[in-house]
Structure 1
Amino acid sequence: MRKNPFDMSDLDAEIESQDQRHEVRIRASFSEDGPRSLLQDEDRRNDNLKDRFIGAIDQGTTSTRFIIFDCTGNPIAKYQSEFRQLHEHSGWHEQDPIELVDSVYTCIEEAMKTFLALGHSKSDIEAIGITSQRETTLCWDWETGEPLCHAIAWPDTRTKGLVRELKAQKGADELKNICGLPLSTYPSSVSLLWLIRNNEAVKQAYDEGRLTFGTVDSWLLFNLNGGPEGGHHVTDVTNASRTMFMNLETLDYDQRLLDFFGLDRKKIRLPKIIPSSDPDGYGYIRSGPLEGVPITSCLGDQSAALVGHCAFTPGTAKNTYGTGCFLLYNVGEKPVISKHGLLGTVGFQLGRNRKPVYALEGSVAVAGSGVSFLMNNMGFFRDSRKVSEVAATVPDNGGCIFVTAFSGLFAPYWIDDAKGTIFGITQHTQRGHIARATMEAACFQTKAILDAMEMDSGHKLSELAVDGGMSNSDICMQTQADIIQIPVERPAMHETTALGAAIAAGFAIDIWREFSELRNMNRANRTCFEPAISTAQSAKMYKQWSKAVEMSRGWVDTSEMQDE
């Protein structure tokens, strides 16, 4: 199977020793026997947590992982499996729903072989957490459990014409104030409406009241719980907040939103919305090597990464450099509706008795997929991890700016008529310059998002936590620190998204009850990238990028943006 082009991490290197100790602070406390070190208390707790295990299903855009963590945050066993990306027409990005489910079972089976070989047993795994790609839209028949069509993946842009139509509809300007999202090709709602209009099987199921809608998490949970026989159809607040159907305040479906998209609740089954951590709401695995193990958490992948970085307090943020690039900023227990092109979303809700934590989000459509473009389309290298080596062959970008608008530009620009454009090419331009410009594109867009977040929140970020395949590139992360002029922190253990699902699952069964108990989770051996250029140099680079963005507008003719 072809190496996943979006994941530049060495999977084997990420399996850390079970006896790795987390860094702790020594403070004095007192007992009946006099003073003792809290280090001893935390050591005893860590020893206990090392013998407790949680599994995490991490279903991403291009591959699925299953990772078993001990409860100190160390990955003990793991397996990764890719699945096909289907591009039948220009702008279309689909996935086979059956392959998504099969990839989960494959990863569970293979990771369990490793786990059992280490001397553990199935009964040692106390719970399962799920994290998955968001916005990807699935439709299936409630009676048979069979998918009605391929899943429309979140980068798909076939709905550009429909988005323009909806933006002209009465009430379009009010949607963002209810759900936090602007109309774009991004949310699931628009893809669902396109399918009802254009796919005969989906339309017929809708008319007959058999249509079931869900994002990837709902589809996986439906199948893991036994399909139609189990009758389990749920989602969590983070995934539901990406559909444009949920009210950010009430955390439930809003009739005004459903009416805008012309949906009749009597004709379609929408998943029940519950907190991200729940001991009962997600059911349990009905078959396979983990049969009977409860599923106790569910989060969208970017929210899971926020939890995995332990960004529990307002003002903390993370950026994930995966297929795309996703920056989430914790804004606390009240939603913030952005005035500067960002998305309002639910960060997480770790229990029925806990208030939801909200976030501002900025999404960059192209990050790791830009590296994949250089590899698969341009032949720059055979392994995506080589991008740093190619970039290191030159000292800078040589004046090249690559606006990677393969699907237009997301936050905070929201330019849907842009196309990918490279400026500044001369006869001296080399592959290294293009490689640098490709990585810099994600870094510049991150800077634009951070600026918008500062304007929305009134606070400047002091540091940025990072994860995802492209974050493994030292050149890329140093460039990021230079461009945003604040430190960039990269954890040694890269599986932050899966760790977030495991942490949420642990909260549901009281392995952890307070955020403070996780203050040392995945903190050891972090790499910090400090800005190495002046503020003036950074501003000059960003000015060039902004000029290139403006020049990339208008490359798509409006006649090309109609529905297929």
Structure 2
Amino acid sequence: MIAIDAGTTGVRSRAVFTDDTPTVASYREFTQHFPEPGWVEHDAEEIWTAVVATLHDVVDQVGRANVAAIGITNQRETVVAWNRRTGQPYGRAIVWQDRRTAHRCDELEAAGHLDLVRERTGLVLDPYFSGTKFAWMLEHRDIPVDDELALGTIDAWLIWNLTGGEVFATDVTNASRTMLCDIRSRTWDPDLCDLLGVPMTALPDIVASSGRIGVTTDTCGAPSGLPVSGVAGDQQAALFGQACIVPGMAKNTYGTGSFVLLNVGETCPPPTEGMLTTVAWTLADGTTHYALEGAIFVTGAAIQWLRDGLGIIDDAAETGPLAASVPDTGGVYFVPAFAGLGSPYWDPYARGTVVGITRGTARAHLTRAVVESMAYQVRDVVDAMVAASGTPLVDLRVDGGASVMDLLCQFQADQLGVTVQRPVDQETTALGAAFLAGLAEGVWPSTDAIGDAWTLDAQFTPNVDRTNADSLHTRWLRAVDRSRDWES
């Protein structure tokens, strides 16, 4: 299997094998464009060029005959408009980080449309999502609205190119992030399309996350004759790559920030305050799982702050040993609300706070407080998810840079009261895309086989009583209260 991981700063193509064969991968960055403050754009043709180059590189190394299928995972919410006859984009792609439609989202909320959006899509009115980006393109780029217009997320752009323009489709996970899709029927919603002024005729077909979508052609520039059989947005792909196939299983990625996803099963839950509801995946037989998603703004970025802002450490790798050099934080709590708090608080006016400092506080105590803040924030999200969905947490599977710290993983297990598991393969986004494609092509015969293919590196079992863990968390919540509404 080859996974194409089209991320925010670059494209990685990676071979995933069913045995212990060492992986083969190829990576190419692409340009970030910032034409105005708060605006972020990508050149869709440059992304496609990177896909072609990395895909050829990996196929050449593993051999065309050894490739069963292609799976795609991508930066979610980023949008492209192009002409289906010429293949030319109408300007640059607008990236998920872009904030240019914030005013339009405020107008829609003031007009009373938030409840409709929450009920149909599981999302909130925010420029993060794709719908208002599409509307902005149509309003400001002199794009002809005709039968040749294509509006899609990055997965749709790649599928269209890989199949030589024969298939115009997006998978259900990406569609569920557009603010235009009814996540229960998993179809484009005419009311929402009308509300945002997006023509349904210009939107791609919505297909399953696992199932043959098309085949690469000899005209596309990429290796031909390869089935394209799996697609998912990056966080849903990571959930599947972590083999969280049973309701109650959850994953967290400790990156710059963190994304926590909880598999809540085949019934779509009602809108949940502070959380997003999203489609986790739809398989070829129609089986659909939903997920609750929590976005934490700052986890690993706080380690960068220790290094670059305060000079407490010289290298991120020092964080774990320094934090472990003291038995606790000495009563210090750090709330990393550098730009507000995300889930479950959604407080843009909160600011970073350090409390509990005494004359005995040393750099190791502050470093440990930063590490523990990651676990506390994840607990806040998970507690809200479990309370809202009624789905008890089975375990938490973790990946991302900070998950290498045993101290963090153990403290996370103690706070959640469940086992925390870290896999051998940390590239779970690409792994999920490969699993989805391989499942469609029979490389893995079932989701149970996907579970068997997931390999454990380390397991962390709660080793403190809940009273002590809850007492620490209660003090954390007091610190959070002190950080909130600071700017207002």
Q: TM-score, normalised by structure 1?
A: 0.77
Partner of 1:218: 156
Once the two structures are superposed, residues 303-345 of structure 1 have per-residue CA deviations (whole angstroms, 9 ceiling, x without a partner) of 1122222222222222222343222222222211243422221
Partner of 1:38: none
Partner of 1:33: none
Question: Which amino acid is the alignment partner of residue 538 of structure 1?
Answer: A
Partner of 1:330: 263
2:198 to 263, 270, 288: 263
1:18-417 matches, within 5 Å, as 54-72=1-19, 75-87=22-34, 90-112=37-59, 115-116=61-62, 121-197=63-139, 200-201=140-141, 204-205=142-143, 212-226=150-164, 230-265=165-200, 269-281=202-214, 283=216, 286-287=219-220, 290-351=223-284, 353-375=285-307, 384-392=316-324, 394-417=326-349
- Asked whether the equivalents of residues 179 and 241 of structure 1 are also in contact (C-alpha less than 8 Å), the reply is yes
State the Cα distance separating 1:502 from its structure 2 match.
Answer: 1.1
Distance of 1:520 and 1:274 partners within structure 2:
26
Once the two structures are superposed, residues 470-520 of structure 1 have per-residue CA deviations (whole angstroms, 9 ceiling, x without a partner) of 222223222322322222011112222212111111122222332233342
Distance of 1:371 and 1:62 partners within structure 2:
21
State the Cα distance separating 1:400 from its structure 2 match.
Answer: 4.5
Question: Which amino acid is the alignment partner of residue 325 of structure 1?
Answer: S
- Asked whether the equivalents of residues 439 and 447 of structure 2 are also in contact (C-alpha less than 8 Å), the reply is no
Once the two structures are superposed, residues 231-276 of structure 1 have per-residue CA deviations (whole angstroms, 9 ceiling, x without a partner) of 542110011111111111211101111122233436xx21211001
Q: Aligned with 2:12: secondary structure? A: strand
Distance change in 2, residues 1:289/1:148 (3 Å): closer
State the Cα distance separating 1:180 from its structure 2 match.
Answer: 1.3
Once the two structures are superposed, residues 347-392 of structure 1 have per-residue CA deviations (whole angstroms, 9 ceiling, x without a partner) of 11121x2321222222223333444455555566565444434544
1:471 maps onto 2:403 in alignment: yes
- Asked whether the equivalents of residues 440 and 476 of structure 1 are also in contact (C-alpha less than 8 Å), the reply is yes
- Asked whether the equivalents of residues 61 and 323 of structure 1 are also in contact (C-alpha less than 8 Å), the reply is no
Distance change in 2, residues 1:241/1:224 (3 Å): same
Question: Which amino acid is the alignment partner of residue 95 of structure 2?
Answer: A
- Asked whether the equivalents of residues 162 and 215 of structure 2 are also in contact (C-alpha less than 8 Å), the reply is no
Distance of 1:139 and 1:471 partners within structure 2:
37
- Asked whether the equivalents of residues 69 and 76 of structure 1 are also in contact (C-alpha less than 8 Å), the reply is yes
- Asked whether the equivalents of residues 247 and 391 of structure 2 are also in contact (C-alpha less than 8 Å), the reply is no
Q: Structure 1 vs Structure 2: percent identity of aligned residues?
A: 38
Distance of 1:325 and 1:546 partners within structure 2:
19
Distance change in 2, residues 1:547/1:142 (3 Å): farther
- Asked whether the equivalents of residues 224 and 285 of structure 1 are also in contact (C-alpha less than 8 Å), the reply is no
- Asked whether the equivalents of residues 238 and 276 of structure 1 are also in contact (C-alpha less than 8 Å), the reply is yes
Q: Aligned with 1:279: secondary structure? A: strand
Q: Aligned with 1:56: secondary structure? A: strand
Q: TM-score, normalised by structure 2?
A: 0.88
Note the residue ranges of structure 1 that are not aligned, 5 or more in a row. 1-53, 558-564
Partner of 1:539: 470
Distance of 2:400 and 2:26 partners within structure 1:
17
Once the two structures are superposed, residues 143-163 of structure 1 have per-residue CA deviations (whole angstroms, 9 ceiling, x without a partner) of 543444443333444444333
Distance of 1:307 and 1:288 partners within structure 2:
29
Distance of 1:472 and 1:491 partners within structure 2:
10
Pick which of 238-247 and 182-191 moved more: 182-191
Distance of 1:382 and 1:285 partners within structure 2:
50
- Asked whether the equivalents of residues 221 and 282 of structure 1 are also in contact (C-alpha less than 8 Å), the reply is no
Distance change in 2, residues 1:73/1:144 (3 Å): farther
Note the residue ranges of structure 2 that are not aligned, 5 or more in a row. none
Distance change in 2, residues 1:247/1:357 (3 Å): same
